Structure 1
Amino acid sequence: MSGLFGSSSAATSNTLGELKNDVELGSPPEDTISDLAFNPNPTDPKDFLAVASWDKKVRVYEILSNGQGQGKVAIDHDGPVFSVDFFKDGTKVLSAGADKQAKALDLNTGQPVQIAQHDAPIRCVRYFEANGTPMAVTGSWDKTVKYWDFRSAQPIGSLQCQERVYTMDVRGDLLVIGTADRYINVVNLNQPGKFYKTLQSPLKWQTRVVSCFTDQQGFAIGSIEGRCAIQYVEDKDSSLNFSFKCHRDPPQGSVTNVYAVNDISFHPQHGTFSTAGSDGTFHFWDKDAKHRLKGYPNVGGSITATTFNKTGSIFAYAIGYDWSKGYQGNSATYPTKVMLHPVQADECKPRPSVKKR
């Protein structure tokens, strides 16, 4: 069932979005941005954006009402930072990276503390709660996933994965782990000590990103080969699984250039989602209607990370070199920046279903 969304070259004018109102964040990182996260607390009127970078820092910006960002605080690591996430209440930021550590930064005091350690770089860190207790889960290239209670220096549990952890996401009680060799592990966080389900990605090439649905019923997978898969957790919903092509150029003769899907983000209210890739474009999709809502022009460089704010009114995307074209593809003039896209009313709303007579 691939290709249901149609090719990007078939876009009509009403599915072409605009970038003219996008705002560039001031004082950006000095190297490629690896992850983005907004504070999720619905009672906090402010938007804070955490930005993880290869320059060994996490920066936290306050997004002002005029769309500009103001740097608030930064946290240093001893190596490139790969992953960042907020506590549910928005008071602390989790970060992890190549220094094999995860840290928690208290935004009120500006003080970071180490909360996790692995035997190899930590690729992903995510916040979750177990019976109301704040927790972190880390996934590493040492092929383990570990759970951390912030009151203890030792992990309170771990899972041995088949291969190195490349990507991970949490939504409610759903934890999804993507590893090398295309393994996907699904965990019910009510029973964190075992895999609820293990499968191999329906996509034939390396997994780049997994992202959980807002309703926790399933997850999306993005690969390096310009494809996205929609996968439901329960077997009873397997008829709803499908994959589609994206982030690829129109064929030129017998050659089609394909690009990695670097990130997938779900809209917090509508359940629609974005894909962003090495081709420098992002798109909004409706998985239920199998429809592309909007596609956007090239932003001038690879998009390495994306996220929505808590209301879904801002879509943040990072532009930077992702090494998809190797050493020779990099240059001193390659842009490194974070852009804030104000989401218009119709951009991410699901399309009303049209029933055939």
Structure 2
Amino acid sequence: MSGLFGSQSNTASQANTLGDLSKDVALNQPPSDSVSDLSFSPRSEHLAVASWDNKVRIYEITQNGGSEGKAVIDHEGPVLSCHWSSDGKQVVGAGADKAARLLDLGAGAAVSQQVAAHDQPIRAVRFFDAPNSNAQMLVTGSWDKTIKYWDLRSSTAVATVQCQERVYTLDVQKNLLVVGTADRYINVVNLNEPTKFYKTLQSPLKWQTRVVSCFPDASGFAVGSIEGRCAIQYVEDKDASSNFSFKCHRDPPSNNMTNVYSVNAISFHPVHGTFSTAGSDGTFHFWDGVAKHRLKGYPTVGGTISATAFNNTGGIFAYAVSYDWSKGYAANTPQYPNKIMMHPVTPEECKPRPSVKKR
């Protein structure tokens, strides 16, 4: 689909899709450096925040939008990824110190333990429930061009899988693992056979992959690139007719030039299956991928958006406003905003709408 779906000609419709940021609340005591990842607990109102100041912070979000720091995982370098276990008792962080570190909140632990290691920085980490067992396992993806699987009871990897290139992003949902690497490779893994690529494809987007995010039902995934595009891809060939890509996070053309921005984060609503995109242009949007239209677009938040997450009920959308290095080191000034905002989500913002068929 070539155009920005949801773009309408009349101003009334445009006004109808414009979102409101006035009720968004800032997180108390955010990290002191850029935020790289956000992850909500699947069981409670706790938010994990990974940042370039070598920490994963865990906050409790209260009813009135307040927030309080509860725990910290210390790393020896910038943290690039964080994730919660499905029971909400453990948090893992991974990053430039080539290690993944876990904090067991269920055990009341105050100090984290190292649970994974790579030869190069770890770009992404996810918990998953091992198929045919109740065991929680980890998968890590690194710039050393491998993904590794970890049983938390062992200090060595259960298995290592070689990828074509450096791992830039990965995501897990049920038995689906999707890994995006440099050179636009995307590897699809069925976790029933974790050491084999079920399918390998080149990204349908022409530029570098920034993020992959699995559908809640694990039937497919979304891909975001540095060039202001998003693609919706189904795993099975029988559903391939539903694959499409669209433009987003780009300025209106001016003098035959269009400014395009990186899509930094894609988050799926846990209830409705609709999704958000957020980018270096400082905006986020909610989309209905089935009906192929935009539900809401929001005004710029005054800085690039580096990470996003919905809470477990879908009632809170968290987004980090912090520098993402999209304009190099010179733009990273002390004045650049560094904050995490909580957006209260109303049903009309993210509920799917009936598809309007054009004649």
Query: TM-score per shorter chain, which class?
Result: over 0.9
> Per-residue deviation at 1:356?
6.0
Aligned 8 A contact 2:100 2:117 in 1: yes
Matching residue of 1:200: 202
RMSD over equivalenced CA pairs, Å: 1.3
Structure 2 residues without counterparts, runs of 5 or longer: none
Secondary structure of 1:317 counterpart: strand
Deviation per residue, 1:157-212 (Å, 9 max, x gap): 11100000000000000000000000000000011010000000010000000000
Q: Which one of the candidate residues 270, 274, 277 is aligned to 2:276?
A: 274
- CA displacement 1:42-93 (0-9 Å, x = unmatched): xxxx400000000000000000111111000111100000000001111110
Which segment is superposed worse, 346-355 or 174-183? Answer: 346-355
1:1-357 → structure 2 map (5 Å cutoff): 1-3=1-3, 5-7=5-7, 12-41=14-43, 46-107=44-105, 108-130=108-130, 131-355=133-357
Cα deviation for residue 110 of structure 1 reads 2.0
Task: Spell out, residue by residue over 1:311-341, the C-alpha distance to the aligned partner (whole angstroms, 9 max, x if none).
Answer: 0000000000111111221211101110000
Does the residue aligned with 1:93 lie in a helix, a strand or coil? strand
Query: 1:210 touches 1:264 (CA, 8 Å); kept in 2?
Result: yes
State the Cα distance separating 1:143 from its structure 2 match: 0.2
Deviation at 1:352, TM superposition (A): 1.6
In 2, Cα distance between the equivalents of 1:232 and 1:339?
31
Q: SS of the counterpart of 1:12?
A: helix
1:347 counterpart SS class: helix
How far the C-alpha of 1:353 sits from its partner, in A, is 2.5
The Cα shift of 1:106 comes to 1.4
TM-score, normalised by the number of residues in structure 2: 0.96
Counterpart AA for 2:54: K
Decide whether the 8 Å contact of 1:272 with 1:286 is kept in 2.
yes
Q: If the length of structure 1 is used for normalisation, what is the TM-score?
A: 0.97
* Greater mean alpha carbon deviation, residues 4-13 or residues 51-60: 4-13
- Alpha-carbon shift at residue 287 of structure 1 (Å): 0.3
Deviation digits for residues 280-309 of structure 1, max 9, x if unmatched? 000000000000000000001000000000
Which runs of no fewer than 5 residues in structure 1 stay unpaired?
none
In 2, the alpha carbon distance for the partners of 1:332 and 1:13 equals: 35
Distance 1:194 1:273, change over 3 A: same
CA distance in structure 1 between the partners assigned to 2:262 and 2:355 by the alignment: 30
Equivalent position amino acid for 1:289 in 2: A
Per the TM alignment, residue 8 of structure 1 is displaced from its structure 2 partner at its CA by: 8.7
Give percent identity, aligned residues only. Answer: 69
Q: Equivalents in 2 of 1:96, 1:21: separation in Å?
A: 32
- 2:350 alignment partner, SS class: coil
Question: Residue 315 of structure 1 aligns to a residue in which SS?
Answer: strand
Distance 1:115 1:105 in 2: 10
Deviations 1:198-230 (A, max 9, x none): 000010000000000011000000000000000
Alignment-mate amino acid for residue 120 of structure 1: Q
Is 1:8–1:250's contact at 8 Å kept on the other side of the alignment? no
| CA distance in 2 between partners of 1:14 and 1:144 (Å) | 46
Mapped partners of 2:358, 2:280: distance in 1 = 37
Contact 1:4 1:290 in 2 (8 A): no
Letter in 2 for 1:95: G
AA aligned to 1:290 is: K
In the alignment, is the contact (CA less than 8 A) between 1:265 and 1:308 conserved in 2?
yes
Aligned length: 353
